[in-house]
Structure 1
Amino acid sequence: MIRIIEPGLLSTIQDEGRHGFQQFGVITNGVMDPFALRIANVLVGNEEGEAGIEVTLTGPTIQFEEDALIAVCGADFSALLDDEPMPLWRPVWISKGSTLHMKFSKTGCRAIIAIGGGLDVEPAMASKSTYVRAGIGGYQGRALDKEDVIKARPLTAASKRIAKSLTKRTNKLLTASWSISSVYLKKLYEPESIRVMKGRQYDEFSEESKMDFWKETYKLSPQSDRMGYRLNGPALKREVTEDLLSEAVAFGTIQVPSNGEPIILLADRQTIGGYPKIGQVASVDLPVLAQKKPGEALTFIEVSHADAQKLFLQREQEIRELKWIIDQKLIKEGVDTNAAS
Structure 2
Amino acid sequence: MNSPASLEIVSPGAYASVQDIGRRGFRRIGVPWAGVLDPRLMRIANALVGNPGTAPVIECFDGGLQVLARGAAVRVAVAGDAVLEIEHDGERKPLPAWRSVTLADGDILRIRRMGSGRIAALALEGLALPQVLGSASTYARAALGGVDGRALAAGVCVPAQPASGAERILPEPPEVDERPIRVVFGPQADHFSAETFDTFLGSDYRVTAEADRMGVRLEGPVLGHLGPAEIISDATVPGSIQVPGKGQPIVLLADAQTAGGYPKIATVIGSDIPRLAACRPGQTLRFAAVSAAEGERIARETEAETLALLAAIRPFVAEGVDLTALYSANLVGGVVNARSPEYRPLTAGDD
C-alpha change, 1:211 and 1:250, in structure 2 (3 Å) is same
Is 1:193 matched with 2:198? no
CA contact (8 A) 1:11 1:59 kept: no
**1:141: which partner in 2?**
149
**1:264: which partner in 2?**
251
SS of the equivalent of 2:117 reads strand
Query: Which structure shows the bigger proportion of residues in helix conformation?
Result: 1
Query: Which structure shows the bigger proportion of residues in strand conformation?
Result: 2
Report deviation, 1:192: 2.2
228-237 or 279-288, which deviates more: 279-288
Number of aligned pairs? 310
**1:179: which partner in 2?**
170
Give the % identical residues.
36
Structure 1, unmatched stretches of 5+, are 167-175, 335-341
CA contact (8 A) 2:217 2:249 kept: yes
Pairs within 5 Å for 1:8-87: 8-65=13-70, 66-76=72-82, 78-82=83-87, 83-87=92-96
Residue by residue over 1:196-231, the C-alpha shift from the partner in whole angstroms, topping out at 9 and shown as x without a partner, is: 111112232122211110010000111222111000
**1:220: which partner in 2?**
207
Query: C-alpha distance in 2, partners of 1:240/1:87?
Result: 53
C-alpha change, 1:59 and 1:328, in structure 2 (3 Å) is closer
Query: C-alpha distance in 1, partners of 2:114/2:309?
Result: 25
SS of the equivalent of 2:313 reads helix
Report deviation, 1:328: 8.9
**2:190: which partner in 1?**
203
Decide which structure has the larger Cα Rg and report it.
2
SS of the equivalent of 1:35 reads helix
Please report the TM-score for the alignment, with normalisation by the length of structure 2: 0.83
Pairs within 5 Å for 1:295-310: 295-310=282-297
Aligned amino acid, residue 125 of structure 1: L
C-alpha change, 1:328 and 1:222, in structure 2 (3 Å) is closer
CA contact (8 A) 2:18 2:59 kept: yes
> Which residue among 271, 277, 288 is the counterpart of 1:284?
271
SS of the equivalent of 1:126 reads coil
203-212 or 295-304, which deviates more: 203-212
SS of the equivalent of 2:184 reads strand
Residue by residue over 1:297-340, the C-alpha shift from the partner in whole angstroms, topping out at 9 and shown as x without a partner, is: 0101111111110110111122222333336989x957xxxxxx
> Which residue among 239, 261, 266 is the counterpart of 1:252?
239
Report deviation, 1:151: 0.9
Aligned amino acid, residue 232 of structure 1: E
Query: C-alpha distance in 2, partners of 1:300/1:126?
Result: 34
Query: C-alpha distance in 2, partners of 1:326/1:207?
Result: 47
Report deviation, 1:51: 0.6
Aligned amino acid, residue 35 of structure 1: R
Query: C-alpha distance in 2, partners of 1:329/1:79?
Result: 17
Structure 2, unmatched stretches of 5+, are 1-5, 325-351
Report deviation, 1:28: 0.9
CA contact (8 A) 1:219 1:232 kept: yes
Report deviation, 1:11: 1.1
Query: C-alpha distance in 2, partners of 1:22/1:58?
Result: 31
**1:230: which partner in 2?**
217
Is 1:320 matched with 2:307? yes
Report deviation, 1:239: 0.5
Report deviation, 1:243: 5.0
Aligned amino acid, residue 290 of structure 2: V
Query: C-alpha distance in 2, partners of 1:124/1:333?
Result: 43
> Which residue among 135, 148, 159 is the counterpart of 1:151?
159
Query: C-alpha distance in 1, partners of 2:20/2:138?
Result: 9
Please report the TM-score for the alignment, with normalisation by the length of structure 1: 0.85
Query: C-alpha distance in 2, partners of 1:55/1:5?
Result: 13
Query: C-alpha distance in 2, partners of 1:300/1:242?
Result: 21
SS of the equivalent of 2:199 reads helix
Report deviation, 1:148: 1.3
Aligned amino acid, residue 313 of structure 2: I
Query: C-alpha distance in 1, partners of 2:65/2:296?
Result: 37
Query: C-alpha distance in 2, partners of 1:243/1:27?
Result: 22
CA contact (8 A) 1:254 1:265 kept: yes
